[in-house]
Chain A
Amino acid sequence: MTSLNSRVRWPIFLLLVLMAATIIYPLFFLVSSSLRTNSDYLNNPLGLPSSISFENFVVIWNTYGAGPAFLNSLYVVTIAMIITILLSTSAGYALAKLPVPGAKLITGSFVSVMLIPGQVLILPIYLMLSRLGLVGDFSGLIVVYVATSLPFAVFFLSVSFRAIPDELLEAIRLDGAGFFRTIRSLILPVGGSSIATLAVLQFLGMWNELLYAFILLPDDSKRLLTPALAQIGDRYLNQQPLVSAGLLLTASVPILLLVLASRYVMQGLAAGVSR
């Protein structure tokens, strides 16, 4: 429909700007209110800050536990993501290109558990981890994140690795490369953009996760950021500038990822659907 004349293009542009504004405005409001004091905010919630102060961020980071929670989240999510990528690259490559006994059965079971919701898993996982003494321990949550990410990750990577030409694999094998060298010098460079897409998707998913993080790390000292924000939003709702700062802090990492790695996030667009 590119034959539209320019007379119609302007209204379309304006309509799109309007739709985009409905998304941008609430976020703009967060930024604006997070830079104000509470009394300045209550004076006129719709207004702009009368003076800019980063006090809310300092308070929420130091006194309301958002700082440690931010670091906890970064720690847990990074480790879980790296393990997921390692295991799914290895399994994805094998399922795509090696003669794995029972490959159909394995792929089938991965695809079928992909749809199992957290509500079904959380109770038995809680009981299992508490028996292992891992409730309240970062490693318990990391294992759960890895396990729940793997079915999709393996499926996604095995599909994209299948597109790697067999001639390349044959060539590197004649060169005497084994499993590890094949992954390092062929799969990683050729399938790198799929792996990056997957890494970004998984990172976002885990960073934003609430149920497991809330239940499996019950101590305040080990809270991750997303559940910590849920609590801050609940307890201090009447201090909106402070909550705004917390929201921005939590949203900062996903937004940064979207801006810096928009190519990979967008590539994951269609793939993310199957989550």
Chain B
Amino acid sequence: MTLVHKAGAAAGHPAAAPRPRKSAMKRRERTVGFLAVLPALVVVVGFMLYPTLFALYISFTKTNGISFKWVGLNNYVQLLTDPLVHTVFINNLKFLVSIPLVIFLALIVSVLMFERIRGWKYFRVIFFLPNVLSAVVIGVMFKQLFGYYGVVNTIVVGLGGERIEFFTNGSLAIMVIILALVWSGFGYQALLLLSGLEAIDPAVYEAAALDGAGWWKRLWYITLPNIRRVLGFVFIINVLYTFSSLFGFVFVMTAGGPGYDTTTIDYLVYLKAFSTSNLGPGAALAVLLFVFIGILTVLQNRAFRIQED
């Protein structure tokens, strides 16, 4: 591993020697400091910064990966006028339905957890559990649960219904993916909200209790307003998640189908980049997605900050 080599060399000559003068020591400290950062810097510049610029370049070309022909904004113009991209973008918007569901459940759990009920430490670990699992594990699990011979269909048949083919119908497939999203997200977000609740000054509650405010009143007038910053943050990560992290779920559950009914932008990037001979449009779509996410983050940040003032 050349990386390890560099790390070793970076700090190979510290200390020792008779104590030098102040400025020489300062200079040597700067050298040591720089050498200590260097390996990480080289790797990040080489395998993150450079590829990002490379992706930007590819997005302006027509290329098979070997020869590059500059086409200017052509790829972008084509993407923005492509009806498929529009359809897929609307698919992404459909997944936004998961956000109120996730936040609602997370709020319930966090408010309940805040009561420090017995065994709350175990509850914390349980609610955290889906967060350590891969989207692949969760996706395949839900595909199984909603499969033709899965648990859900067993219950449906038990209740006298017909087996439902969840994954041959676009809307049903999206619904199952949304359920998977909710399942995997609400526990973790409940813990985030809980940390917001714990930051509220207990004196506020004591004052409210003295005023005779009931539990519901306190929830509505004290608890919720006091955690709006965390709520805003949770909202933002959910939106980002909807636009950038559905790939794993879509990949294992539907492969974007039926047709393009469950294809999301991040999955379309993968399709365009790895199943066509022209890589330019795939790169352009990835850049567009990145820019879109960036703008969204800035706007949402601003919106929640304005509420703060």
Contact = CB atoms under 8 A, between A and B. Distances in A.
Given A115-B294, A119-B286, A210-B251, A86 B270 contact: no
A163 interface: no
B283 A123 contact: yes
B49 A113 contact: yes
Contact of A244 (B46, B144, B290): B144
A15 B148 CA distance: 31
B40 A262 contact: no
A171 interface: no
Interface residues on A, range: 35 or more
Contact of A179 (B14, B40, B116): B14
A9 interface: yes
Interface stretch (A49-57, A58-66, A91-99, A189-197): A91-99
Interface in A220-269: 226-227, 229-230, 233-234, 237-238, 240, 243-244, 246-247, 250-251, 254-255, 257-259, 262, 265-266, 269
B222 to A, nearest CB: 9
A240 B123 contact: no
Contacts of B289: 117, 119-120
A113 to B, nearest CB: 5
Interface string B274-309: 100001001100110110011001000000000000
A257 B132 contact: yes
The B interface is mostly helix, strand or loop, or mixed, namely helix
**Most chain A Cβ neighbours within 10 Å, of B47, B113, B127:** B47
A9 B117 contact: yes
B273 interface: yes
A86 B4 contact: yes
A173 B147 CA distance: 64
Interface string B122-155: 0111111111111111011111110111110011
A83 interface: yes
A113 B53 CA distance: 11
A151 B44 contact: yes
B19 to A, nearest CB: 9
The A interface is mostly helix, strand or loop, or mixed, namely helix
B97 interface: no
Contacts of A115: 293-294, 297
A143 B195 contact: no
Contacts, number: 311
A150 B15 contact: no
Given A1-B218, A2-B115, A113-B44, A100 B144 contact: no
A188 interface: no
Nearest to A114: B48
Contacts of A123: 55, 58, 273, 279, 282-283, 286
B2 to A, nearest CB: 9
B34 A259 contact: no
Contacts of B49: 109, 113
A90 to B, nearest CB: 5
Contacts of B172: none
Nearest to A82: B4
Contacts of A44: 154
Contacts of A13: 117-119
Contacts of A269: 128, 188, 191-192, 195
Contacts of B39: 87, 90-91
A211 B244 CA distance: 12
Contact of B40 (A2, A91, A98): A91
A113 B51 CA distance: 11
A124 interface: yes
Interface residues of B, number: 109
A204 B290 CA distance: 24
B108 A19 contact: yes
A128 B54 contact: yes
A208 B136 contact: yes
B37 interface: yes
Interface of A: 1-4, 8-9, 12-13, 15-16, 19-20, 22-24, 26-27, 29-30, 41-42, 44-46, 79, 83, 86-88, 90-91, 93-95, 98-101, 103, 106, 109-110, 113, 115-117, 119-125, 127-128, 130, 139, 143-144, 146-148, 150-151, 154, 176-181, 183, 204, 207-211, 215, 226-227, 229-230, 233-234, 237-238, 240, 243-244, 246-247, 250-251, 254-255, 257-259, 262, 265-266, 269-270, 272-273
6 shortest interchain CB distances as A-B pairs: A178-B15, A178-B14, A147-B47, A98-B33, A208-B134, A233-B140
Given A94-B33, A103-B33, A179-B32, 20 more contacts: A2-B115, A19-B109, A26-B141, A30-B141, A83-B1, A91-B39, A98-B32, A110-B44, A115-B293, A116-B290, A117-B289, A119-B247, A125-B51, A151-B44, A210-B248, A229-B136, A243-B140, A269-B188, A269-B191, A273-B192
26 contacts: A2-B116, A9-B115, A13-B118, A16-B123, A20-B123, A30-B141, A46-B158, A93-B36, A99-B29, A115-B294, A119-B269, A119-B290, A123-B283, A130-B65, A139-B1, A150-B40, A150-B48, A181-B15, A215-B274, A230-B251, A233-B139, A240-B150, A247-B140, A251-B133, A258-B129, A273-B233
